[in-house]
Amino acid sequence: MGRYYQRPDYVAQEYAQTERIKQTLQEEKLVPPPALPPTAFVDAQAERPSLDINHANRDWSRLNPAFVQTVLRVMAAMKERGFAMVLLEGYRSPERQNALATQGNHVTQAKGGESKHQYGLAVDLAPIRNGKVVISERDPWAMQAYQALGEEAQAAGLTWGGNWSFKDFGHIEQTGSIRALLAKK
């Protein structure tokens, strides 16, 4: 007594509908691409030795996971546009940031703690052509890639360094101040 009867087919339909909704709401987790061999970076290092690409951190796990998913979606959109991209640098220690800042405005204007790289909320990307990383702004093809990166980053709600007075074409970051972004955590 006090029990009620539910038709088995009704329960099964309700369960199936709930599962479909869950599946729809769960976004596919993208996986970072495999690391490129060091030889892919040789020409880029020679082109811009001040960037010290050989010591750049390319460990995706050091970045904010939600930011990584947004960056990977941008990279997928770039690939669809014909520009495969590679992570040139992600997380940057305050010490590395300070070392780069001492090289002058042609590298970075931010000191340690002032860059979103230190918080896993910024990356530097570069296009790949024929298995080699290309970072030259003098290369028309690379500039097309950087312009497309700016469009895709902005469409994803990110900030693109190519819009700054100090042009950083391969840089994209989470929009908002560091203080506001850290307060959300």
Q: Rounded mean pLDDT of 114-130?
A: 95
If we measure between CA atoms, which residue out of 158, 179, 170 comes closest to residue 69? 158
Interatomic CA distance for residues 50 and 59, integer angstroms: 21
* CATH architecture, range 30-184: 2-Layer Sandwich (3.30)
Q: What is the DSSP letter of 165?
A: S
Residue 106's pLDDT is what?
Answer: 66
If we measure between CA atoms, which residue out of 185, 118, 117, 123 comes closest to residue 153? 123
Confidence of residue 6 (pLDDT cuts 50, 70, 90): low
Confidence of residue 75 (pLDDT cuts 50, 70, 90): very high
Q: Rounded mean pLDDT of 101-110?
A: 77
Confidence of residue 54 (pLDDT cuts 50, 70, 90): confident
pLDDT score of 4 more than 80: no
Distance spanning both ends of the chain, measured CA to CA: 50
Interatomic CA distance for residues 36 and 155, integer angstroms: 27
Domain boundaries defined on the chain: 30-184
